[in-house]
Amino acid sequence: MLKISNLSVRAGGKVLLDDLTLAFAAGELVMVVGPNGAGKTTLLRCLDGELTPAHGQVELAGRALRDWPRRELARVRAVLPQQSTLDFPFSVRDVVLMGRIPHSSGDAEDSAIATQALEMCDCAGLEERAYPSLSGGEQQRVQTARVLAQMWGPGSATGRFLLLDEPASALDLSHQYALLNLLKNLTRTDRIGVICTLHNLNLVAQFADRAVVIDRGILVADGAPFDVFTEETIGHVFDLDVAIHPHPDDAKVPLLIPRLPRPRQAPGAPGAA
């Protein structure tokens, strides 16, 4: 269980997170949504220990995050940041193998793990390419393979967690779906808890076990996408007029469709002046 309680973060007189209390279980796919600047990345950076909150607690398996030995923590929790810059010409395979640094499983096993992780992220053909020569989307997939390699293993009693900040931002549509399927599988077959920020709400609706909606640092809603994604909540939080229909293939999946602008409401429409 990864828990935050009464978490508040301030920076430069601005409240980034205000009194958030949340719990994440292993085997659960949780997606954090909210408009730009809502505090999604700040929340993730508190969960990964990068940011020390002004108030509140972050706990993993009942132990405060800062009391965890780093290496032990790195074996049960991996983090994919929004963007990583690696300018040195490591091969793709070497980048993925860096995910094995916290483990001591030996070269042969690490190598087998890297191969599988690369395959799962559709990077098998890139192995010997120099990382800086890849496209943005390819780099993002390689980094995902790296954190997969880091999470590889028999599992642990504390539960393993994978934190991803905008992992689909540079991916094309088919790779977005492939990634979300992969994350879903990780939660189901490996009992890994996945916490992920995402902007595409229809992807969230289709894949997330739970959607956490935050706006201006405040928790607005937390629950199954079906319950959380209402026309009212989305309209309020994102300032966007949407229609929500049941997905034609599965009525439990809400489908969000932004409404077309109605001429009589459009500001500056002909005749208004």
> Given the rule CB under 8 A, which residues bind another protein?
48-50, 70-75, 77-79, 81, 84-91, 93-95, 97-102, 107, 110-111, 114, 127-128, 132, 150
Are the C-beta atoms of 24 and 188 separated by less than 8 Å?
no
Closest contact distance (angstroms) between CB of 226 and another protein is: 33
CB nearer to another protein: give 111 or 202. Answer: 111
Residue 253 has, within 13 A of its CA and on its CB side, a CA count of: 13
79: which 2 tokens? 């983090």
CB nearer to another protein: give 163 or 208. Answer: 163
CB nearer to another protein: give 142 or 234. Answer: 142
Are the C-beta atoms of 73 and 60 separated by less than 8 Å?
yes
- What one-letter code names the amino acid at 165? D
CB nearer to another protein: give 35 or 153. Answer: 153
Closest contact distance (angstroms) between CB of 26 and another protein is: 18
CB nearer to another protein: give 101 or 269. Answer: 101
Angle between helices 136-151 and 173-189 (to 10 degrees): 10
Strand (E) or helix (H) holding 17:
strand 14-24
Closest contact distance (angstroms) between CB of 19 and another protein is: 25
Closest contact distance (angstroms) between CB of 100 and another protein is: 5
- What one-letter code names the amino acid at 39? G
Q: What are phi and psi of 193, to 5 degrees?
A: -85, 125
CB nearer to another protein: give 143 or 206. Answer: 143
Distance (Å, rounded) from C-alpha 144 to C-alpha 170? Answer: 12
Closest contact distance (angstroms) between CB of 13 and another protein is: 20
Closest contact distance (angstroms) between CB of 69 and another protein is: 8
Strand (E) or helix (H) holding 80:
strand 77-80
Closest contact distance (angstroms) between CB of 96 and another protein is: 8
Distance (Å, rounded) from C-alpha 83 to C-alpha 169? Answer: 10
Per-residue CA distances from 71 to 25, 48, 135, 165, 182 (Å): 21, 13, 31, 21, 25
CB nearer to another protein: give 22 or 118. Answer: 118
Alpha helices in 79-172 (DSSP H): 92-97, 107-120, 136-151
